[in-house]
Chain A
Amino acid sequence: MAVGLSACHTLDLNPLSEASTGTFYSNQTELELAVNDLYRLAFWGNDNELFSDNEWHRGQLTNAVIGGTMNADDAAVQTFWLNAYKAIARANSFLANKDRAKANTPASILLRLEAEIRLIRAYQYSRLVTHFGDVPLLTQPVALEESYSIKRTSKDEILTFVFAELDFATANLPSTYAAADIKRLTKGAALAIKARTALYMGKWDIARDASKAIMALTGTYALNASYPQLFLRAGETSKEMIVSIPRDEKQQVFSVAAYVQDNISRNAGGFGAQLPTRDLLDAYEAIDGKPIDESPLYDPKAPFKNRDPRLTANIVEFNTQWLGYNYTPHPDSLLIFSSKENKKVSNKDTRAVAAFASFTGFLWKKGIDQTWPDRLVEDNDAIIIRYAEILLTYAEAMIELGTIDNTVLDAINQVRARAYGVSATDTKSYPAVTTTNAVALKQILRRERRVEFPREGLRYMDLIRWKLAEKILVKPVIGLPDPAAQSRAKWPFPGVTPLDDDGIADYTGFGTDVKVLAQRSFDKSRQYLWPIPAVEKRVNTNITQNPGY
């Protein structure tokens, strides 16, 4: 036994199932691993649609943005911040150590990987400055001891850095990848992030140039022929996608059942809880191109008729089959026909039957495919930037620059025409924009963005940068009256909703013919910027806080 004791095991034990940085980044495979890691959804994404006037959740009622309760301990803000800096730290670590692999990695591949990771890092800073303003700018690995003296860098300085980095990525990334290659970030992705960042920060000329450069990449990007199909599986490999993060149930990347159920009808086994708002519905033009309060074609008794086709592509029309059941929230429709069960069934989508059926009366259709009720899995790719946004970014930048020309109209009309499934030149088949009046065009463009991108997470930043949040995010959330209070003669809507120049709907004239579901609140003294997470200031007193927090 003594012999056994004297023959010791070693104490130099290394991790058995992980790698360690001491030896990492030493060959092409490891460099690729490091870059791949940053293609995950944690590091990409647009804002939460619930932060806007397009969507509301019955159960959550509110969130810190529309509840006006944002503060420096907000968990969502902290996660957003931390994830951005995690990507930055890993990118910095890659850039500082990549030369370890120089000897055994082709220079062209090394350069491409560097461009990818610098693009991803620039994207993180773009997200940070647009939400927080000034933030710490770290461009190389920082030791813990040094990190305590770091201060916030002005957003202009960071912006300069971001644009330069994106220029580097633009110069060194390919426009496309061969089908057999792994599809990674492209030149177009770098330009698109640049265009969006510039637009958000009011750098109109940069936004114009970057979007123009993408439009000039002939054959690379195009609008998908079908608007509704774009958001389903068929659209995932469309030429319209510039940056998207794949998701797939088989690869264990998907949203869980609760999310799916929140979004689908109760008849189909969902909760009907996460809903389009009434004011989104009212934002869609009539097919004559006029807002509902101006168009003679609009009838509040048949609100889905004669409307921009994107309305019924995005929101479930009443009295249509949806996920196998006729959808109507009408309080007297206690039975509805189900094409799935081929018989009449109890209508769980009216509040006369189920108290928690859609409170606004509406359900999302956009991006929801017919397999959701069976799979209870959402694995649609996350769309980060698509070509339509570039067209509208170009148009908006040009309008803001006061250089309105046919290219502006053409960019907007391409998006509008696609909604109708026609070519932009076929101006008889859709309400083409012809005005060159800057004020009118600005209104049209802003409305166009709202009706084109709902549920894609772009509305929040639009409200922030247009400074409309303080006007819009203080309006109540409007729902259908309770079944008992619903005047059947005024179904579904009691009248034409008046809209102001900013497209803000006014429901105050309808009295009890509409129901106020909840009050939104927005503290304009502070909420245009998010709070720097409280922990930063606790740890490092050099970090200042945004005003009001």
Chain B
Amino acid sequence: MVFLNLTLIPKYPKNMRQKHLLSIVLLLVWLSPLMAQTKEVTGKVTDEAAKDLPGVSIVIKGTQRGTTTDANGVYKLAIPEQGPVTITFSFVGYQSQDVSLGGQSTLDITMKPEDKALSEVVVVGYGTQRKKDLTGAISSIGARDVAGRQTIQVSDALQGSIAGVSVTRTSGAPGSGSNILIRGITTIGTNSPLIIVDGVPVSSIDNVNPGDVENITVLKDAASASIYGSRGAAGVILVTTKRAKSGQGSLEYTYEYGVQRATAMPKYVGVQDYMRYFNEQSTNDGASTGPFAQSLINNYLDSNRVSPDRFPNTDWQKSLITRENAPRQRHDLVFTMGTGKIKTKASLGYSSSGAFYDNRSYDRYLFRVNNDLQVNDKIGVNLDVFYKRTANKGNANELPNNDFNPIYEGRVMPPIYDDVYSDGRVAFGKDGRNPLAKLRNGGFTRSLGNQIGGRMSFNYKPVNGLTVTALVAPVFDLDKNKYFSKQIRYTNPDGTPSTVVNQARTVLNEGRSESVSINGQLLANYVKEFGGAHTIDILAGFEENYRSLETLTASRSGFALTDFPYLNSGSTELRDNSGSANASGLHSFFGRLQYNYKSKYFLQGNLRSDLSSRFAAAYRKAVYPSVSAGWTISEESFLKNNPWLSFLKVRGSWGQAGNERLLDKDGNPAYYPYLATIDFSNALFYQNGSVVPLTGGGQQVYAVENITWETSKTLDFGLDAAFLKDRLTISADYYKKTTTDILLPLDIPLYLGYDKPNQNAGTLNVRGWELEGAWRDRVGKLGYSIAANLSDAKSTVGDLKGTEFRGDQIIRNGSQYNEWFGYLSNGLFQTQDQITGAPVLNVTTKPGDVRYVDVNKDGKITTDDKVLLGGALPRYLYGGNLRADYEGFDFGITFQGVAKKLSRLNTDAVQPFAEAFGNMPADMVGKFWRLSNTADQNLAATYPRLSRTSNTANYSLSDYWLIKGGYFRVKNITLGYTLKQDLIKKTGVQSLRFYISANDVLSFSKFPKYLDPESASYSYPIVTTLMAGATIRF
């Protein structure tokens, strides 16, 4: 741990001093022309639509002398009287132009937009490449595709935007993000890709403000990802943040306000139906009558009118979900300043989202400063600092484990329990369980995350073509949380104190954690062109990662007073604390060799060697090679001047990447999987007649000492083409990925007596393809583009050492990854005759229960009759967008979908009486099997009979509960208008843009209307967000 050379951490005063110094230098630059013999050239710079371009950088080639255009696009430049002069015009997003100056004193220039399609530069592992030179499967999207999606989290913006990248989410809760998978499943431990921001690995893509993203590149094949070695198997996402460019200077402020609405909400039956059906369940299970008397049910609504406190009728969803519209807002302030030697981009973003119910919110501050300092011709420095603060607030026990979930409570609580008495005091609900009382008086949870990080890199160019880079990037996480859950004392309806309380004691838990992660890199890059035909590009590097974490928690319960959420107020007898720590490290050497002949034939090779602390010394090292090649056919003479085909390249790659990011049995990162660790416990004994605690120790998890890397090999063939002057671009890939030594916590015999460890278990095969296409053009003042992508990946488990059964899904030889595993059903039993002698799961099977198929024909239904029922992962993912701009208007629409998926119907929509007392989904009414139905009605029944005894059997996973889960969704629609500059210029404002936007507007699927296709059971609803905002730019 020697990285922390404090002088490397940027300090503002020093930075400011440098700025002063540099302005003096600039002054000198400005003055110097006066001393030589000069003449003046003036002109105006516009874009293709004849719009003035302010801030264009104009430099006399080969010198430091230059200027920029003013707000009207006009410039003045002093040039030497003598000799030929070439002036370079450059501006972000436009092609640079070199113009040789003749004798003229005026020079008007029209800048052409950068030919984005193929000449743009994309970020690759430890470097950049021109897009047309790529030989691997790499996709990238720009700032507009990220920030334009109007999401709080970057991960949400990726949904549907890149072929082969699958983004899933199950909830729209404040602050929630999405899971990202690249090219299907790779392994079990961590299938999430490695995220690299500006060259440095980070824990989450959501640490970055969407507005700060310049572009996102996804390395999909192993040849591209193998330079990241043991962390590259699940793909790599490279995020580049925006940096200031020379000649830029602006201050931009954006405010946006939005409201979120649930896309779907299940409905539940009313109070009389609830009691009726509950009674029916009781009698179905053998009771002579149900708990609710018929007269009570019949008179209930009248009784409720007369005495609502004794005969409550509560719509719990309404009671808890007090807002149909949850607010969301965003402020972004961006300062950009780029001069010759100092370029600074600073952004401060704040966003907050509220929830449908009280006391739940997410607040985030993101601060980032990216500095580029050119010390001299040979030395450049990047100095970045970022700070993130997130505050997740919720009700008592709502976070982090979701032990209290108001959405769940609203759906479970039946109407017979009271939320508030008629005089407004909170009632005791179901024997002290009153979620509304918890919202109002139950306490809170709060977790605060502070992340401070920096990145400093030195670029040194000692000789032409050689760049040496040294980089160090420390990130500190200081998190704290507080979970305060208060006892609530209720009163009886008559106002007297009640014996009912919601929980025995008031409990306070506090936690602190501190983690440090440090990334250091040393890179050498040499680029050389020989004889105008051969280009080589060599990279060699060393990288080191180290992280450590320390946590501390303390708690007390038994608070005499419930308004002081500090440990001191709790009982000294009822207290507890704990702490833990871990560390991990990775050392890596890597290299890359690229060669191309006349930009026609490309060859690339990568090699990386990793050493990880997670494995035993003997199994620690891994080497990942890759090769790739490309042939730009369109450079060949027979195609070179083809009028409609502007670009055609075929490429192929093969490579290896690995995975070391194991998880333990609880889903936390496993840092010492090869060691048999002893977990401590607490056992009680008597001594001198009283109880004393003694520490116990036992090995929980079986240790596989020779556990090592898993390796995935990908073979990829791709094609990139552009037609009609690059207006139409197409890219296609086909790949075959084989993961060997896949790390899975296979089921081990329980009689071994340990929790299952990760093992190098076997092989996983993934085959897939990806298609991306785009069309962009400009017709007069109308510019427009259409882009679409489609991809598929199918994961099949190859030769596996065993099985991993995960609830209702399984991983075993020949199955898909996490394939549904359960019974085959054959409708519902209709009569006792059908049951007599038929194979059944239990002796209690009755008409109205699900009939299962005796697959192994042994005359009974047992767990041996469970079969593979189909893949649970989404297939045929697609997405796309349409964009247009006309005069000051801009319009965009983005869509996304899944063509094929086998989904299980959510519990909250199809199962009655959760927890044995809960409410019943309204959708079941008239659709379940009943003794009182006619035979025909029962034949048409979609739900089994109401029965507690048969509940487990009927709702066991079978194909009965699986539906086609494909969907199509409009992700975002945005309409914006930018005010013409002429109108506002005088006020010093460069531009002013207003926009309205909507996310997750509508969807189509086979799901019932009250179910969102992406939502999980009882989870916070997926939301539609409607937003309006404005950006002002000075």
Contacts and interface: CB of A to CB of B under 8 A. Distances in A.
Interface string B487-520: 0000010001011110111000000000000001
B544 A8 contact: yes
Interface residues of B, number: 114
Top 5 A-B pairs, shortest CB-CB distance = A89-B753, A519-B286, A37-B696, A376-B504, A21-B676
Interface string B402-439: 00000000000000100000000000000110000000
A249 B500 CA distance: 21
B689 interface: yes
Interface stretch (B163-171, B174-182, B366-374, B583-591): B583-591
Given A271-B431, A376-B503, A518-B287, A18 B749 contact: no
A95 interface: no
Q: Interface majority SS on B: helix, strand, loop or mixed?
A: mixed
A69 B752 contact: no
Given A138-B753, A184-B685, 18 more contacts: A9-B2, A13-B672, A17-B580, A20-B675, A38-B696, A62-B285, A67-B842, A72-B863, A90-B698, A237-B689, A257-B503, A269-B500, A374-B504, A482-B293, A516-B286, A521-B844, A521-B949, A545-B862
Interface stretch (B101-109, B330-338, B571-579, B1002-1010): B571-579
Given A69-B844, A484-B293, A17 B581 contact: yes
A437 interface: no
A248 B676 contact: no
9 contacts: A5-B521, A12-B617, A13-B584, A15-B672, A20-B672, A38-B683, A248-B691, A266-B431, A516-B286
Nearest to A30: B697
A1 B472 contact: yes
A136 B750 CA distance: 10
Nearest to A146: B752
A39 B2 contact: no
A73 B1 contact: no
Contacts of A505: none
A485 B295 CA distance: 12
Which of B499, B617, B695, B696 gathers the greatest number of chain A CB atoms within 10 Å?
Answer: B499
Contacts of B916: 59-61
A512 B288 CA distance: 8
Contact of A1 (B5, B915, B917): B5
A467 interface: no
A252 interface: yes
A483 B294 CA distance: 12
B948 A61 contact: yes
A267 B428 CA distance: 13
Interface in B362-419: 416
B695 A33 contact: yes
Given A4-B3, A15-B671, A138-B751, A355 B291 contact: yes
Contacts of A373: 499
B30 interface: no
Interface in B191-205: none
Given A71-B862, A89-B753, A180-B688, A11 B699 contact: no
B619 to A, nearest CB: 12
Choose among A69, A73, A476, A516 the residue with the greatest number of B CB atoms under 10 Å from its CB: A69
A9 B519 CA distance: 12
B585 A147 contact: no
B686 A5 contact: no
Interface stretch (A221-229, A422-430, A532-540): A532-540
A22 B860 CA distance: 48
B601 to A, nearest CB: 36
A14 interface: yes
B680 interface: yes
B682 A253 contact: yes
A8 B579 CA distance: 27
Contact of A67 (B613, B693, B750, B949): B949
A202 interface: no
A37 B583 contact: no
A92 B3 CA distance: 46
Given A147-B748, A538-B805, A20 B677 contact: yes
Interface stretch (A79-87, A283-291, A308-316): A79-87
B678 interface: yes
B499 A86 contact: no
Contacts of B702: 144
B49 to A, nearest CB: 47
B292 interface: yes
B363 to A, nearest CB: 32
The dominant DSSP class at the A interface is loop
A61 B862 contact: no
Most buried by A among B681, B683, B748, B753: B753
A171 interface: no
A11 B949 contact: no
Nearest to B915: A59
B867 interface: no
B734 interface: no
B292 A37 contact: no
B863 A71 contact: yes
Contact of A182 (B550, B687, B843, B863): B687
Contacts of B681: 36-37, 40
B802 A5 contact: no
B917 A515 contact: no
A61 B581 CA distance: 45
Contacts of B289: 482, 485, 515
A178 to B, nearest CB: 10
Interface in A356-379: 356, 359, 373-377
Contact of B285 (A34, A512, A518): A518
B470 interface: yes
B288 A246 contact: no
Interface of B: 1-3, 5, 8, 282, 285-289, 291-293, 295-296, 416, 431-432, 456, 458, 470, 472, 492, 496, 498-501, 503-505, 520-522, 542, 544, 546, 550, 573-574, 576, 579-587, 611-613, 617, 620, 671-672, 675-689, 691-699, 702-704, 747-754, 759, 802-803, 805, 841-844, 860, 862-864, 915-917, 948-950, 952-953, 956
Contacts of B802: 539
Nearest to A533: B750
B803 A538 contact: yes
Interface string A40-62: 10000000000000000001111
Interface in A511-549: 512, 515-519, 521, 523, 533-540, 543, 545, 548-549
A135 B751 CA distance: 9
Contact of A536 (B492, B686, B688, B749): B749
A535 B697 contact: no
Contacts of B691: 246, 248, 250-251
A463 B983 CA distance: 92
Contacts of A521: 842-844, 949
B949 A62 contact: yes
B699 A90 contact: yes
A547 to B, nearest CB: 10
A346 B749 contact: no
Contacts of A476: 286
B767 to A, nearest CB: 27
Which residue, A12, A32, A86, A519, has most C-beta atoms of chain B within 10 A?
A86
B916 to A, nearest CB: 4
A40 B286 contact: no
Nearest to B812: A538
Contacts of A5: 3, 470, 472, 520-522, 542, 544
A15 B696 contact: no
Nearest to A261: B431
B580 to A, nearest CB: 4
Interface in A261-281: 261, 266-271
Given A60-B916, A81-B750, A271-B431, A356 B697 contact: no
Nearest to A377: B504
Contact of B751 (A19, A60, A136, A267): A136
A39 B682 contact: no
